[in-house]
Structure 1
C-alpha cells in the first residue's frame, strides 16, 4: 500500500502556486491523515509533523544534503560546487562549516547593530510623511543586501544588482517544468575576489581567503578560489533572500494584527519574541529536500534508498502536537524551539544575523510608523520552491 493510496484527495505540490498561497490547510491534513506523504507526479515523499521533521534533520547519515536541498536540484542531478555548506555532508561539511563558524560568529553579527540601524534609517526616512512604502522593495531587500555587502566588502553601487540576480535565479516561471536554480552564480563575485586578494581589508571576504583549516583529508590549508566563491555565493544568496522574506512577513502579519502591532509600538522590549513568532508562524524557508541514502521506515512504510524526501519545517512549526493553537499568531507566545532556521548540523549559521536584522527593522519601522495596513491591491507573492514570502508587500501609512 502506498502512503496515500487511501487518501486520493490529499495533494501537496511545492510548485503549485494555488497551494503555496496558503499551504497550511494542506499541511494540516498531511499531518493528520498522511504523515508520510507521497507525490507521484514529482516522485517525492514528505514529512510534515514536528517530531518527524526534527528527527530527520538530525539524521544526516540517512537524509543527505550532498545532492542538494531543493527538489529540482536533486532530480536534475546538478553538480554541487565545493564550499556550499548547505549542500554538503560530513566530513566535508564539518570542515567547511568550521571555517564559516569562525568568521560568522554571533558576537560579530551583533556588533553590526548600529550599521543595520543606519541601513534601515536610510531606507525608511524618505517615506516619512508619504502615503506608504514596501516592506520588501523599500526596506527588506535593501537592508539585507547592504548588510551582507558591508560584511563582504562589496561596493554599495553593485549590491542591488546582485540582490536582483539571486531573486531572479530562485523564481519559478513554469510550475509544470520547474528549472533548477543556478547554484554557481560565481561571475558576480570573481572580480571582487581578485581585487580583494591584492587589497586585503577587514571584511569577511578577506577572512575567508586567509582562513586556515584542516580539511576532510587531514591537510591544513586555505580555501581554494572556487571554495571562496561558493561561500560568498551562499552568504549573499541566503543572507538576502531569507531576511527579506522575514521582514515582509512581519509587515504583513502586523498589518493584519493591529492590536499586537500597537503593543509592540508601545513596548519595544516585546520585539525579539515577536520576531520568533513570525519565524515560527511563517518560516521564510519552509521546505528542505533530502536524498535518502538507505532504506528508512516512517509510519510503517518504507522509503526506499534513492528517494527524495521533503522535510516541511514550515508545517512542523504549525503542528498542534508541539504548539498549542498553532494557527494563532501571538507575539506573547512562549515559542521555545522552532524549526524556522532548521535544526541539527545544517542549522542556519546566519540565524543570529537574521534575528538582529528582523528585530532592528521592526524597531525602526515602529519608531516612524506605528500604524499601517497592507495595500492588498498591489501585494505580490514570490514564487519559488524553497523560500516563501512576498515579492512586494506595500503598506499604507498615511
Structure 2
C-alpha cells in the first residue's frame, strides 16, 4: 500500500475511544501514513521507531521550548523559566545540570528504603481484604510520598499539590484542554516550605536548589530565582508522581492478563526489572511527545513546514514491527529497548527513580498477593493531555 497523508486512518488524540486503545490506529499509521497530518487540529505525527527516535534526538528541528504537549504548543503561551521539559539548549542544559544532581545513584539508593516503607504501610492496611485498587491503594500514595520526601514537602500537603496537577492536565471528552495552564500549581504553598528550608538547610533537594548557582548572561554565575526554584519543585513533584502512578497501574493490568508470567515473577523476583521494562515498552505512561518544528523538513516525500506541530508517537514506535519481533505480544523475557523515557537530550531524568519505585511496588504486592484478577467493571481510564493510564484499577484477590 502506498504511503500517503490521507485522512484515513484518522488519529485524534482527544478522542477517548481512540485513547482507550490507540494501538490499532497507530499500526495503520505506521503501515499507511508514517507521516500523518490531522487537518482538524493541524498537527503532523510520526509513528515508526526510526522516525520517532530520530525526531526525539533532533532537538534543533523539533523544539521543546514552546511546550511538549499539543495543547500548549497550539495555545502559543510563553513558558515560565525552570520547566526543563519545555526548554531547549542552552537554557535547558543549564537547568538540567542542576536536576542531574538530584537523581544520582546515591540519592536513588538512599530513597529506596523510604519508598519501600511507604509501600509496606499502604499494603499492610489491606491485609484480609478481598481486593484492592492498584491506583488508589499503591499507585498514587507510594510515588507521591517518595517524591515528597525527596523534595521535603510535608506528607499532609502532598495530596493538595497532586490534586491541582491532576486538575490541570485532565481533559474533557472530545476536545483539547480549554485555557491550558502552564503556571506551576500551588506556588504559594510551596513557597512556605522554601522559606522554612532556607532558614533550616539540610541534605535534601530543596536545600540543593536554594544553594544552586547557574551560569548568568554575563558569563558569571547567579543563584536560581525564586520562580525557578518554585517551578522546579512543582514540576518534579507533578512529573515524578503522575507517570509512576500510571506505570504501576499498567503493571497491575498486564500481570492480571498474563497470569503465567506473573507466577514466574512470584517464583523469581530477579525477573522483575526486565518485566518492568516490558511494561514500559508495551504500555508507556507518556505515549506521545509533542514538538514545535523550528526548521522545515521532509518525510516520505512530503514537506513539514516551519512552525508546524509534530507529535512523536513513542508508544507506537515501541510496537513497530520493523523494530521488534511480535511487538504486540507481552513478554517479560524480551529484554528489548524502548522509547518510553524519551531519547537524547530530553531523556527522562527521573527514569531510575520510576524504575525503582515500580520494582519496589511490585515486589511488595507479590509478597502479599501472588494472584489477582482485574475487576473490569470498576476500572476507569484516566484521560489527560500528557499521560495515559488508569484512574481506577480494582482487582480481586483469593
Shared fold (TM-score, shorter chain, > 0.5): yes
> Equivalent residue for 2:46?
47
Of stretches 130-139 and 161-170 in structure 1, the one that deviates more from structure 2 is 161-170
Give the count of matched residue pairs: 395
Structure 2 unpaired stretches of 5+: none
Match of 1:386 in 2: 386
Kindly state the Cα deviation for residue 5 of structure 1 after the two structures are TM-superposed. 6.3
Q: Which residue of 2 aligns with 1:346?
A: 346
Contact kept in structure 2, 1:134 and 1:392, CA below 8 Å = yes
CA–CA distance in structure 2, aligned partners of residues 318 and 280 of structure 1 = 8
Q: Is the 8 A contact 1:30 1:37 kept in 2?
A: yes
TM-score normalized by the length of structure 2:
0.96
Structure 1's 217 and 25: CA in aligned 2 closer, same or farther, altered over 3 A? farther
Q: Tell me the equivalent position of 2:23.
A: 24
How far apart, in 2, do the equivalents of 1:81 and 1:193 lie? 18
- Asked whether 1:162 is paired with 2:161, we answer yes
Q: Counterpart of 2:124?
A: 125
Q: Point out the more displaced range, 144-153 or 170-179.
A: 170-179
Q: 1:181 to 1:390 in 2, by over 3 A?
A: farther
Alignment pair present for 1:148 and 2:124: no
Task: State how far apart, in whole Å, the 2-side matches of 1:110 and 1:321 are.
Answer: 37
Structure 1 residues 216 and 92, CA gap change in structure 2 (3 angstroms): farther
Calculate the aligned-residue CA RMSD, in Å: 1.4
What is the distance in 1 between the residues matched to 2:45 and 2:212?
39
| Structure 1 residue 349 displacement after superposition | 0.1
CA contact (8 A) 1:15 1:384 kept: no
The corresponding residue for 1:361 is 361
**Distance in 2 of aligned mates of 1:352 and 1:291:** 28
Shift of 1:385: 2.5
1:293 corresponds to: 294
1:84-123 alignment to 2 at 5 Å?
84-123=83-122
Match of 1:257? Answer: 258
Distance change >3 Å, CA 341–CA 255, structure 1 → 2: same
For 1:14, the equivalent position in structure 2 comes to: 13
TM-score by length of 1: 0.96
**Unaligned ranges ≥5, structure 1:** none
SS of the counterpart of 2:88?
coil
SS of 2:21's partner is coil
The residue aligned with 2:307 is: 306
Q: Secondary structure at the match of 2:295?
A: coil
Show the counterpart of 2:239: 238
> Offset at 1:79?
1.6
Stretch moving more, 191-200 or 231-240: 191-200
